Structure 1
Amino acid sequence: MKGASTLKQNSIMALSAAAATGHLRAAEALVAAFEIHGVSARHVEMLKYTNPLFRKIYSDL
Structure 2
Amino acid sequence: MSDEAEAIIRKTVSLPASTWQQIEDFQFARRIKKDAVAIRYLIDLGLKAEMERIKEEK
Shorter-normalised TM-score: what interval?
Answer: 0.3 to 0.5
- More helix as a share of residues: 2
With the length of structure 1 as denominator, give the TM-score of the two structures.
Answer: 0.34
With the length of structure 2 as denominator, give the TM-score of the two structures.
Answer: 0.35
- More strand as a share of residues: 1
